[in-house]
Structure 1
């Protein structure tokens, strides 16, 4: 069973798809807790390039790149874990 965060409402779904990102997305799957940072490819490259320029590296152990950051795509990804 996949349990999405309570705060993931319709407005945030719209905003995350438009911005191509949602960070610190905590979910529970079969009583196990996970945290993900979902990006679309364009936003991921932008953020990675910015971090590399500023810091010389990019690190995000929780990154998942989706075609689009939508509820459907998030659930599809989570259901494969």
Structure 2
């Protein structure tokens, strides 16, 4: 299994994502294939859902993944489980 995170996703970016509770349109290269996910923690997802559903009546986003905390370790665990990679 090979997961490539974007070059810009350094320790500071990870810290900011975990504190914000989201990574929007986050690119990952998994075993040579490119994917884009949006990662939220549950608290931030609820805030976003409330804000967007008030204005348009729904939350529209593709490939939303809810994590306990938005960080590299949880993203890696998600990829391993979702793609059943060991």
User: Which TM-score bucket, shorter chain as reference?
Assistant: over 0.9
Q: Any gaps of 5 or more consecutive residues in structure 2?
A: none
Give the aligned partner of residue 35 of structure 1.
36
Figure out how many residues of one structure are paired with residues of the other and give that number: 81
Cα offset, 1:3, TM superposition: 0.7
TM-score normalised to structure 1 length: 0.95
| Runs of 4+ deviating beyond 3 Å | none
RMSD: 0.8
TM-score normalised to structure 2 length: 0.90
Q: Any gaps of 5 or more consecutive residues in structure 1?
A: none
Give the aligned partner of residue 79 of structure 1.
80
Contact persistence 1:21–1:39 (CA under 8 A): yes
Aligned pairs for 1:34-53 within 5 A: 34-53=35-54
CA offsets per residue over residues 6-34 of structure 1, 9 Å max, x none? Answer: 11011110000011011111011111110
CA distance in 2, matches of 1:70, 1:2: 14
Give the aligned partner of residue 14 of structure 1.
15
